[in-house]
Amino acid sequence: MKKAIAEEKIVTAYVTRFAVAAGVVRVRGRYREGDEKPMLSYRHPGASYDIYIAHKDWHLTEEAARADVEKRLKRKLESLAKQVATLEKMLGSIPVIDQTGGHP
């Protein structure tokens, strides 16, 4: 039995893909309602091509987008804390790695 073709919808969506660096982007785009993992497509003003965003990187409400960005920011802060801890351990004991291969 063939799967029914999903209906394409035009919506205002909130893209969170690059939100940690640039913030949430509100766009007018389209997606296929009913797809298991719908992709959003939209076009920047003046562009001649569409941009496609995976289902986990866009939302239909500003509230959902803000909640997603909060999670992303918390993960980024945890990652940065680990990096700072690693760098602090290196202070005072910076390794010298010999890659001369035994050449004088």
Q: Where do the domains of the chain lie?
A: 7-90
Residue 5 confidence (pLDDT): 65
Please tell me the distance from the alpha carbon of residue 18 to that of residue 16, in angstroms, as a whole number. Answer: 6
Res 104 pLDDT > 70: no
pTM of the model: 0.74
**What integer best gives the mean pLDDT of the chain?**
89
Say how many Å lie between the first and final Cα of the chain, rounded.
74
